[in-house]
């Protein structure tokens, strides 16, 4: 159980602010441009307890609320979005284990995950299946006290540097509806678990996003999440709510960081004899950017409150993710315009925000699909 209060929250957020300014912001540009994994930063995350941020204190985690966790993500992403992915996918895995795992699975994995000794992620997306997860083809067939897995995954964060994944597979490819044939496994790296290659990306650099191949990979049957086949699709859906709150916070962080850079630059840069912040065209941009940042934070808070109360929040999480990610794109784009020609110089950090922002509109469900989820939930909750 969590025993955090407002003073505790302020203390941890203050420590995150100090860490971001001292350790994260100074290295962001160098590691992003080199596409180099920030190993030292990961060790610092372990010391800060970030790998156990939302894991219950019963298992050695911090037991933070989704609201406090989102505030941490906003702070980190406002300086450099990419590192938030290192602990986000890990915590989605941990959330699913804590919610649906057997007692043995919880006791074996959650304490190690909270300490960062076992770092994980989620293995969902395949070359032919992204938002439509029911279209996955990776299969697991029972063989004695193991399952044998064959297939491929792509765009998997933490798969290169991490220790394992929560792996979504088909245990009954013929099942109808399709989701009834899907299961999740706690899949530790072993023979047959092949990291095929690290993917080259426009943004979100320095973080390992890889293509994977499973070639007769054997996973113990006791690692079937919850011990029952056919529950995988429902089990991962709950974790995606936290994931969408996280992506909303990442988009909001990008928006806030872009606003801060643009606000500073607009006061330093002069044209026609005065700082550009005194030109009405620039003022209109800054006002819209600030309003979108504030609105995104409120939507994230709304979703987090329902999540922490254990209430269904697919509508609220979708709204937060949709608006927060679009705010990131909007603010990064407007900041590029405020920086003018210098926005295209790699000496200025705003170009990284611009490259990173669009991913938030795609990850954890495309914004196009999320808008249909929002509409369907509105209709279902408000019958005529």
Is the distance from CB of 86 to CB of 73 less than 8 angstroms? Answer: no
Is the distance from CB of 251 to CB of 360 less than 8 angstroms? Answer: yes
What are 104's two structure tokens? 């043995």
Query: Could you tell me the CA-to-CA distances from 221 to 71, 211, 251 in Å, in that order?
Result: 38, 24, 38
Residues shown for the chain: 384
The structure's pTM equals: 0.95
Give the long-range contacts of residues 8-14, CB within 8 A, separation 24 or more.
9/68, 9/71, 12/62, 12/64, 12/68, 12/72, 13/68, 13/71, 13/72, 13/75
Give φ, ψ of 300 to 5 degrees.
-65, -45
pLDDT in single tens digits along all 384 residues of the chain: 456 678 888 999 999 999 999 999 999 999 999 999 999 999 999 999 999 999 999 999 999 999 999 999 999 999 999 999 999 999 999 999 999 999 999 999 999 999 999 999 999 999 998 778 888 999 999 999 999 999 999 999 999 999 999 999 999 999 999 989 999 999 999 999 999 999 999 999 999 999 999 999 999 999 999 999 999 999 988 778 888 999 999 999 999 999 999 999 999 999 999 999 999 999 999 999 999 999 999 999 999 999 999 998 999 999 999 999 999 999 999 999 999 999 999 999 999 999 999 999 998 889 999 999 999 999 999 998
Classify domain 121-230 at the CATH class level: mainly beta
Q: What is the pLDDT of residues 7-22, one digit of tens each?
A: 888 999 999 999 999 9
Per CATH, the architecture of 234-381 is what?
Answer: Up-down Bundle (1.20)
- Considering the candidates 98, 334, 351, 364, report the single residue annotated as catalytic: 364
Q: Tell me the domain boundaries of the chain.
A: 6-115, 121-230, 234-381
DSSP annotation of 165 reads E
Sign of torsion, CA 276 279 283 285? Answer: negative
Indicate if 268 belongs to the active site: no
The CATH topology of domain 6-115 is Butyryl-Coa Dehydrogenase, subunit A; domain 1 (1.10.540)
Strand 146-157 with 164-170, pairing = unpaired
Query: Could you tell me the CA-to-CA distances from 222 to 123, 168, 376 in Å, in that order?
Result: 18, 15, 37
């Amino acid at each position: 159980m969590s025993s955090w209060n407002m003073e505790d929250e302020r203390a941890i957020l203050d420590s995150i602010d100090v860490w971001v300014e001292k350790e994260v912001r100074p290295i962001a540009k160098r590691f992003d441009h080199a596409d180099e994994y920030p190993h030292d930063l990961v060790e610092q995350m372990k010391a800060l307890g970030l790998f156990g941020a939302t894991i219950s204190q019963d298992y050695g985690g911090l037991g933070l609320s989704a609201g406090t966790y989102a505030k941490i993500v906003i702070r980190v992403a406002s300086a450099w979005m990419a590192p938030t992915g290192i602990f986000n996918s890990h915590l989605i895995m941990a959330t699913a284990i804590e919610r649906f795992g057997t007692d043995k699975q919880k006791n074996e994995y959650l304490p190690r995950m909270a300490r960062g000794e076992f770092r994980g992620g989620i293995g969902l997306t395949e070359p032919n299946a992204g938002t439509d997860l029911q279209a996955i083809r990776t299969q697991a067939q029972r063989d004695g006290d193991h399952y044998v897995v064959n297939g491929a995954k792509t765009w998997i964060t933490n798969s290169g540097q991490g220790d394992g994944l929560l792996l979504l597979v088909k245990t009954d490819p013929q099942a109808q509806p399709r989701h009834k044939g899907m299961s999740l496994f706690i899949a530790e790296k072993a023979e047959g678990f092949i990291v095929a290659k690290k993917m080259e990306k426009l943004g979100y650099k320095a973080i390992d996003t890889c293509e994977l191949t499973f070639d007769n990979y054997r996973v113990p049957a006791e690692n079937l999440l919850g011990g029952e086949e056919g529950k995988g699709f429902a089990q991962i859906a709950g974790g995606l709510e936290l994931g969408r709150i996280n992506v909303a916070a990442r988009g909001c962080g990008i928006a806030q960081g872009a606003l801060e850079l643009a606000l500073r630059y607009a006061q330093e840069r002069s044209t026609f004899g005065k700082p550009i912040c005194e030109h009405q065209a620039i003022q209109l941009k800054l006002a819209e950017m600030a309003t979108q940042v504030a609105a995104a934070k409120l939507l994230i808070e709304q979703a987090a409150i329902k999540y922490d109360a254990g209430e269904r929040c697919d509508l609220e999480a979708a709204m937060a993710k949709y608006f927060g990610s679009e705010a990131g794109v909007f603010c990064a784009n407007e900041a590029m315009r405020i920086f003018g020609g210098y926005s295209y110089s790699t000496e200025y950090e705003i170009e990284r925000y611009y490259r990173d922002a669009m991913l938030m509109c795609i990850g954890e469900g495309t914004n196009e699909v999320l808008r249909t989820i929002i509409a369907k939930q509105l209709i279902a909750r408000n019958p005529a």
